[in-house]
Structure 1
Amino acid sequence: MKNTRVAVDVGGTFTDICVMDEHTGRISIEKTSSTVDPIEGILNAVDKSKVDLNQVSLFSHGTTVATNALITRRLPRTAMICTEGFRDVIEIRRANKEDLWDIYKDVAPPHVKRRDRLCVAERIDAQGKVVTALDVEQAKQVARTLRRREVKAVAICFMNAYMNPQHEQEMRDILRAEMPDVAISLSSEVMPEIFEHERFSTTVINAACSPVVVDYTKRLGQELKHRGYESDLLLLHSGGGVMTTEAVEHFSARLAGSGIAAGAIASRHIAMLCGFRNSIGLDMGGTSTDVSLAYDGQSRITNDWFIEFGYPIRFASIEVLTIGAGGGSLAWQDEAGSLRNGPQSAGANPGPACYGNGNMQPTNTDANVVLGRLGTRLAGGQVTLNASLAHEAVKQGVAEPFKLELHDAAQAIIDVANANMADAVRLLSISRGYDPRDFALVSFGGAGALHGVAIAQELSIPAVIVPPNPGVASALGCLLVNIQHDFAESYIKQASEVDIAELEAAFQRLEAEAISHLSHEGVQEENMVLERTIDMMYQGQWRSLAIPTPRPVKTLDSLIEIFHQEHEREYNYRRMDAPVSVFRLNLKAVGLVAQAELPRHEPTGVIPTPASHREVWFSKFGACHTPVYERTDLPAGFTLQGPAVIEQLDSTVVVPPQCRADIDNYLNIIIRF
């Protein structure tokens, strides 16, 4: 019997691998340097972990390939075919700007140049009726033109195709006859909903990513198969599930949020193990911090996200807020003389000043070294930190310009970084109608456990959870997911006018499609879970809320009441006198995969001895003679009082004075104050 699961998360600096023995629940981790070709880094991690792929039952992977391709614009030549008069929809966008007050900052250009946005005569009205038939001869000429231009991907985006896909399908068949190997995305299949810019943008991005992602997943799958892996390679997608390489061919843009979703999944799962159904994830790495939120055991889902502003991707995604705050974020002085922190970063090379690679501008890592919270070794000794260089950088960059004592300067750097991250948590909690005092904070990533308690104290969050392997929590998240697809159908009516039989028939169509997809991927019917939601809004609004919906639907009255309640929680008001409209029907189709079970540990009664002591500076307390523990020495059931520092391969945990840290049965550290 194959009894091993493997998950790999590729980051900008390190590639993390998490290997679990299904029989014992034992998890082993390794970190290797990321490579230019991510596949090389993945295979290096497999080799370093000494895992036998012949014994692997599941290999899941969180990837940044699609994200990086979109950010760097290293995309194949892509064309767009649209209805006459609509070729500029993706360039006009919503005519908005990321920074309302900066008139000089332009939005990035569309992913398809105007000369490659070709038009054909056709028209379908808003009810799905054919007004003007597709001009077949013109369509054939467009196909021949694109073949001569050697485009690699085509997005077909016709007006009102979400109501009737007939013309898009005819155009696809014409293209296939002329260009059998080109990647084609139809807006009626990718995103069948109203709002043409969002639909066109998602379809274009899906088409542009397809050749890149499909090539990557096929090459990785072949390499793993060559080494003995026999099952499907599973790719984590933005919605918090995994999909097979075959599904990637149709919905490649779903991988654009793959990397950040893994951390959100892991933080929710770990919080649930610790008994917290409400949790906030704080994933702080070297360059950025990702903040996520789970309420009542469910991650917040959004359809309003993007990699580049102005070009939305409307696939359902776990809502994650990313800011430029990481271990390598630079401290600097603005024109008004104020101390700032990030979003500029020293990156992996040259890195913080203490790396000794030439950078002398202070970073958060340097400040933590000066304060004694970090020692002189990272990543199990793979990285050596030069404390004297950190002291010099903080002295020259902050202490002298602001006339501060060295440790006060380092604390100021950390305080600004913590304030930035606390603001990000407020945006995702308080501004969404959630009280942080009702949540636990899960701090992970390479730097999260250094800052988590200070942020929790700022926001009155009562508990901070640090998982056993905080630096590779995203890789762990890849082990905790099921196969998942999301389907949707536009359904625009006032709630009072909805025909329940018609609504139920529409849901059944979606369910039939979902069952077909899952069955094709080898999921047995007893392992299929279908979850319905209806997007509702007050009449005249254009933002909607997804309301969980029973199977079968018998009445909308109870759903409308839930909508009023959710609207008040989200926006702080309800309008009982306003008519409610139905906007869209959604179906989440889940194929259950046997879940990874983390091992439980019983208390041993052993009281560990600190590995060493060092002076650590804390705000309000000054220098404290602080014990330093090895994480592997801390048994379940052990409690320690701050101040304390806990070191391990992938992170460092700081327990400030007047805080208590408990080690639970899963070896999570739960810090309270």
Structure 2
Amino acid sequence: MTQVRVAVDVGGTFTDVCIFDEDDRSMRVTKVPSTPSDPMIAVMKGVERGEIDLQDVSLFSHGTTVATNALITRKFPEAAMVTTKGFRDVIEIRDGTKDNLWDAYDDVPGPYIKRRDRFEITERMDFEGNVITPLDEVEAQRLASVLRRRGVTTVAVCFINSFANPAHETRMRELLEEELPGVAISTSAEILPEIFEHDRFNTAVSNAVLAPLVSGYVNRLSDALSNGGYGGDLLLLHSGGGSMTPRMVERFPVRLAASGIAAGAISAQFIAEQCGMPHAVGLDMGGTSTDICLVNDGELRTTKEWQVEYGHPIIFPSIEVLTIGAGGGSLAHIDIAGSLRNGPQSAGADPGPACYANGGEEPTNTDANIVLNRLGTELAGGAKSLDRDAASAAINRVIGEPLGMETEEAACAVLKVANANMADAVRLVSIRRGLDPREFALVAFGGAGALHGADVARELDIPTVIVPPNPGVTSAMGCLLVDIRHDLSEMYSGLVGEIDPEDLEQHFAALEADAANRLAQERVSPENTVLQRKISMRYHGQWRSLMVPMNRGPESLAEAVQTFHEQHEKEYAFRQDEQAVEVYQLQVTGIGRTPKPSFRKATELTEDPGDPVTTRPVYFEDGGWQDTPVYERTRVPAGARITGPVIISQLDSTTVVPPGTRAEIDEWLNIRIHVKEA
């Protein structure tokens, strides 16, 4: 029986399906239009279109935008927050910052739970976890009755200082469960047992409002796959670059809030490593947005604090990705000052670009590409037909006529603005951190990344662009490359010289036991379980801390301190070895290893690309209309060398090799475009 692994990534415009055959190590892909009203419909259509027999599937992995979209659209179920008396407005007061400091009219979006749905209860712990005021259980039971009458379906319990002692939150949860059977309850001490109440409360609130939506979607999809014959667990990619089973998603749905974004970053890291490039920028350009990540010395940058909307932090480890509104469906328009703009507004999947002939009348990047003949008249192997006349009319009406440009010039200008926006975003993740993009490779993928990759690289003087074998479904492939992963943390304060090593070891051991238990619940065997320790430190008197690896053994703490000094110097350009070091937090990462696909490498190389399938006129800024050979990518052999201008088309994407550049197909079937040889 042939065994396959399936990965599905739901995007704003298309849902991508990646099918890996374990026997011959071949990969095939398919795409279907996304169904925003119910993403599961597109997932199952993708399974059907890919001719996948679910009985033959050994692993089904999924990157989903359900949680992200829910936080953006704020279509939440009936939710409530229960907090300590006097702390009802913590999530509204926030930290007093603004995304745009200089815009007096730019208000931060309001909390996910409105003030009328936030309730106070009598209880109080001090910062060490000692009970100051016991939980008033009579008051708590009365509140539970009120929530039942209101029809609340999910509750966030957020008590002050519960990170030091969760006893009151745990008891409040028990009382609510007695009165509200079936209601999802998130306690802040379980979701994020850390200091700083705004961060902890908001993460718990985000988890609560997502719980019914995300767990409902995940369970429906899991049941549909099981009914179709799939016998394993559905694995869902989370923001930290690992995966979770539906059992853990029910408890921690907020971890899926950057699910699909993380998949692309993982793929970019894998492809760069495969090509021998320790430094790379990932450019994942889809239909709605572009996600940019940075691989430095082979490692992806991660962050502890991130947000879908500014002012509403989610405090879980997450792969650091910068998202901008520059996708194939980004709208081009003239602003009130008469300047050409591109995005962040998008035509989305419905009605889509003007060339979709589905009601969209505003020009997009896709329309500009089809006007310049860089795209053919079909997308996704015929799943979507494109109307070039409609695209030309939209470009001319909205951009060309107001700016006095010919249609081709206007389309070229649209793409130049989009490329400049993406180049600026790359500068933010590289130059802003003291890194030179000229020392990096650009991994261009997503449905539209290969169309723009070479031009973005030229803008930044990046010498090489790597286009993976299936750029349009590369994010889906990332779902096949991750392990099951859980990140647990605990506050632990004390000066290094005053800490009892045995006490520190007991705290680490408790976290490891919790991580191992979670993995066991997800049916991970002990031999596939890996537990990693980290410790957060800072110089005594500092506010910010740094997380460094923590070994085991009697010298582990001293080794961690030395690593902290070195990391501090790298991050902030100074170190103070004579200064006392304070431990701030402990973290344990539990990893359940899953089998990874082993991709096939070409053994026979030939420089002859063969004959193009056709030749068509394509417009380039330098040279105007040029007769350009069009190759079908599946027919171009490994080792082939091609001089631009060339168009390379395939099911899931189109690659543009501009005039003055050279491309070659490497042994992994990546297209490497050498831009600096122009």
The TM tier, using the shorter chain, reads: over 0.9
Provide the secondary structure at the position in 1 that maps to 2:241: coil
Q: In the TM superposition, what are the counterparts of 1:545-560 in structure 2 within 5 Å?
A: 545-552=546-553, 554-560=555-561
Q: Which residue of 2 aligns with 1:661?
A: 663
Q: Is the 8 A contact 2:281 2:294 kept in 1?
A: yes
Q: Which residue of 2 aligns with 1:134?
A: 135
Give the drift of 1:369.
Answer: 2.2
Question: Across the two proteins, how many residue pairs are aligned to each other?
Answer: 673
1:193 is aligned with what amino acid? E
Give the drift of 1:602.
Answer: 2.1
Distance, in Å, in 2 between the alignment partners of 1:225 and 1:300 is 36
Distance, in Å, in 2 between the alignment partners of 1:343 and 1:582 is 42
Q: Which residue of 2 aligns with 1:582?
A: 583
Q: Which residue of 1 aligns with 2:637?
A: 635
Deviations 1:611-632 (A, max 9, x none): 1122223333443332111111
Q: Which residue of 2 aligns with 1:176?
A: 177
Provide the secondary structure at the position in 2 that maps to 1:453: helix
Q: In the TM superposition, what are the counterparts of 1:103-502 in structure 2 within 5 Å?
A: 103-502=104-503
Q: Which residue of 2 aligns with 1:8?
A: 8
Q: Could you say if the C-alpha distance between residues 240 and 167 of structure 1 is closer, same or farther in structure 2, counting changes exceeding 3 Å?
A: same
2:525 is aligned with what amino acid? Q
Distance, in Å, in 2 between the alignment partners of 1:567 and 1:494 is 17
1:180 is aligned with what amino acid? P
2:614 is aligned with what amino acid? S
Deviations 1:525-546 (A, max 9, x none): 2211222222233445444332
Deviations 1:219-243 (A, max 9, x none): 1111111111111111111111111
Q: Is the 8 A contact 1:80 1:112 kept in 2?
A: yes
2:414 is aligned with what amino acid? I
2:661 is aligned with what amino acid? C
Q: Is the 8 A contact 1:122 1:135 kept in 2?
A: yes
Distance, in Å, in 2 between the alignment partners of 1:237 and 1:553 is 34
Q: Which residue of 1 aligns with 2:50?
A: 49
Give the drift of 1:576.
Answer: 5.7
Provide the secondary structure at the position in 2 that maps to 1:478: helix
Q: Considering only aligned residues, what root-mean-square deviation do their CA atoms show, in Å?
A: 2.1
2:202 is aligned with what amino acid? S
Distance, in Å, in 2 between the alignment partners of 1:2 and 1:159 is 55
Higher alpha-carbon deviation: 315-324 or 292-301: 292-301
Deviations 1:77-135 (A, max 9, x none): 11111111111111111122222233233222222222322222221111122222212
Distance, in Å, in 2 between the alignment partners of 1:510 and 1:32 is 42
Distance, in Å, in 2 between the alignment partners of 1:638 and 1:455 is 24
Give the drift of 1:297.
Answer: 2.6
Distance, in Å, in 2 between the alignment partners of 1:46 and 1:359 is 29
Provide the secondary structure at the position in 2 that maps to 1:60: strand
Distance, in Å, in 1 between the alignment partners of 2:184 and 2:362 is 46
Q: Could you say if the C-alpha distance between residues 640 and 597 of structure 1 is closer, same or farther in structure 2, counting changes exceeding 3 Å?
A: same
Q: Which residue of 1 aligns with 2:79?
A: 78
Higher alpha-carbon deviation: 39-48 or 202-211: 39-48
Distance, in Å, in 1 between the alignment partners of 2:436 and 2:558 is 29
Q: Which residue of 1 aligns with 2:627?
A: 625
Q: Could you say if the C-alpha distance between residues 610 and 290 of structure 1 is closer, same or farther in structure 2, counting changes exceeding 3 Å?
A: same
Distance, in Å, in 1 between the alignment partners of 2:563 and 2:432 is 20
Alignment pair present for 1:65 and 2:61: no
1:277 is aligned with what amino acid? P
Q: Is the 8 A contact 1:6 1:18 kept in 2?
A: yes
Distance, in Å, in 2 between the alignment partners of 1:452 and 1:607 is 21
2:644 is aligned with what amino acid? G
Give the drift of 1:574.
Answer: 4.9
Deviations 1:450-486 (A, max 9, x none): 1111212222322211111111111111111111101
Higher alpha-carbon deviation: 196-205 or 636-645: 636-645
Q: Could you say if the C-alpha distance between residues 259 and 122 of structure 1 is closer, same or farther in structure 2, counting changes exceeding 3 Å?
A: same
Provide the secondary structure at the position in 1 that maps to 2:110: coil
Q: Could you say if the C-alpha distance between residues 47 and 415 of structure 1 is closer, same or farther in structure 2, counting changes exceeding 3 Å?
A: same
Gaps of 5+ in 2: none
2:95 is aligned with what amino acid? R
Provide the secondary structure at the position in 1 that maps to 2:223: helix
Higher alpha-carbon deviation: 403-412 or 333-342: 403-412
Deviations 1:581-619 (A, max 9, x none): 332211211100011122222225353211112222333
Distance, in Å, in 2 between the alignment partners of 1:176 and 1:357 is 48
Give the drift of 1:26.
Answer: 1.2
Higher alpha-carbon deviation: 431-440 or 121-130: 431-440
Distance, in Å, in 2 between the alignment partners of 1:576 and 1:614 is 66
Distance, in Å, in 2 between the alignment partners of 1:540 and 1:362 is 55
Q: Which residue of 2 aligns with 1:607?
A: 609
1:22 is aligned with what amino acid? E
Distance, in Å, in 1 between the alignment partners of 2:461 and 2:494 is 43
Provide the secondary structure at the position in 2 that maps to 1:327: coil
Provide the secondary structure at the position in 1 that maps to 2:659: coil
Distance, in Å, in 2 between the alignment partners of 1:571 and 1:634 is 48
Gaps of 5+ in 1: none
Higher alpha-carbon deviation: 487-496 or 437-446: 487-496
Q: Is the 8 A contact 2:32 2:383 kept in 1?
A: no
Distance, in Å, in 2 between the alignment partners of 1:582 and 1:226 is 50
Alignment pair present for 1:24 and 2:24: yes
1:660 is aligned with what amino acid? R
Distance, in Å, in 2 between the alignment partners of 1:320 and 1:384 is 32
Provide the secondary structure at the position in 2 that maps to 1:249: helix
Give the drift of 1:360.
Answer: 4.1
Higher alpha-carbon deviation: 46-55 or 600-609: 600-609
Q: Which residue of 1 aligns with 2:509?
A: 508
Deviations 1:285-339 (A, max 9, x none): 1111011122233222112111222111111111111110011212222223222
Give the drift of 1:573.
Answer: 5.1
TM-score, length of structure 2 as denominator length: 0.95
Distance, in Å, in 2 between the alignment partners of 1:438 and 1:576 is 32
Distance, in Å, in 2 between the alignment partners of 1:609 and 1:358 is 38
Q: Could you say if the C-alpha distance between residues 356 and 211 of structure 1 is closer, same or farther in structure 2, counting changes exceeding 3 Å?
A: closer
Provide the secondary structure at the position in 2 that maps to 1:454: helix
1:367 is aligned with what amino acid? A
TM-score, length of structure 1 as denominator length: 0.95
Give the drift of 1:33.
Answer: 2.2
Distance, in Å, in 2 between the alignment partners of 1:97 and 1:77 is 28
